[in-house]
Amino acid sequence: MAHADAVESMLRSLLDDRPRDGEVARPSGLMQAIRHGALSGGKRLRPFLLLESAALFGATGPAPLRVAAALECVHCYSLIHDDLPAMDDDDLRRGQPTVHRAFDEATAILAGDSLLTYAFDIIASDETELPAERRIELVTRLARAAGLGGMAGGQFLDLTAERQTPGEEGILRLQAMKTGALIRFACEAGAIVGQASPADRERLAEFGSAVGLAFQLADDLLDLTSDAATLGKAAGKDAAAGKATLAGLHGIDWTRRQLSGLMDQASDLLRPFGAAGTMLRTAARFVVERNH
């Protein structure tokens, strides 16, 4: 995918060892760990959604790619911290050792902290060539999607869910926070970067919510039906951890029907954009049909 290559290359240039104005130095050991966590491939789904959503509104200039790279920094920070022994305790990520395995725990914590912080730097930078008002809007939306009422809060709920099984409503809220918020942000941010109308921006955010929920259902399904070799990480972990998922609760057939319904919903939301929405529709389908 051309988008994934462009994002990789933008991240590579942002995450080099050269200190920028206002930075004292970039410790090379820390930068190595950061690059290990951020440049190790990955599907770059969130950047893809952001870039295609921005393209829908004719966004040009450096902003889409830079904001997409910032978003990927936040996603990678969350993976690094979620993989830690105190959290999900994963040794493998995308078939590679996780950051705390390749380096050590302290370095992994700091690499995650640094990527999260850097994301706001990238968005706020003049180099996006966006008006300050747009950048401020992106900072606010990203902070709310990633923070205590979004992704971080969702990860907290997910960890406690292993002890106190939540009901269906609880699972939906948990997932809207843990994985949904950042995917919703990806689509909404593309609309912000593309200076979309408030109505279109809300439409893209809703599209993002549908894709986010589908992403989580597809993930649960993979955990139920796949194996570690295909997945590039341990499989069957949800059930082993006694973690309640909608797929586990309602079974494989129900989940496949839900996914199909969400695809229809996502498609309907894109209808006003006609053929221009094709790539986003394809991305939504990719989310559902992926096998790793």
Which parts of this chain interact with a second copy (CB under 8 A)? Answer: 19-27, 29-31, 34, 77, 81, 84, 86-87, 104-107, 109-110, 112-114, 116-118, 120-121, 123-125, 131-133, 135-136, 139-150, 152-157, 159-160, 173, 176-177, 180-181
Instruction: Tell the smallest beta-carbon distance from residue 178 to a second copy (Å).
Output: 10
Give the number of other Cβ atoms within 10 Å of residue 54's Cβ.
26
Instruction: Tell the smallest beta-carbon distance from residue 271 to a second copy (Å).
Output: 26
Please give the backbone phi and psi of residue 96, each rounded to the nearest 5 degrees, phi first.
-110, 160
Instruction: Tell the smallest beta-carbon distance from residue 160 to a second copy (Å).
Output: 6
Instruction: Tell the smallest beta-carbon distance from residue 208 to a second copy (Å).
Output: 13
Residue number with CB closer to a second copy (52 or 158): 158
Residue number with CB closer to a second copy (25 or 275): 25
Start-end of H helices in 125-180: 132-146, 151-161, 168-175
Contact (Cβ atoms closer than 8 angstroms) between residue 145 and residue 182: yes
Start-end of H helices in the chain: 2-14, 28-38, 45-56, 63-82, 99-102, 105-124, 132-146, 151-161, 168-175, 181-193, 198-225, 228-231, 237-240, 246-250, 252-270, 278-289
Q: Calculate the alpha carbon distances from 149 to 92, 135, 138, 202 in Å.
A: 28, 21, 16, 19
Residue number with CB closer to a second copy (20 or 271): 20
Residue number with CB closer to a second copy (97 or 153): 153
Residue number with CB closer to a second copy (44 or 178): 178
Q: What angle do CA 80, 149, 100 make, to 5 degrees?
A: 10
Instruction: Tell the smallest beta-carbon distance from residue 116 to a second copy (Å).
Output: 6
Instruction: Tell the smallest beta-carbon distance from residue 61 to a second copy (Å).
Output: 17
Residue number with CB closer to a second copy (106 or 228): 106
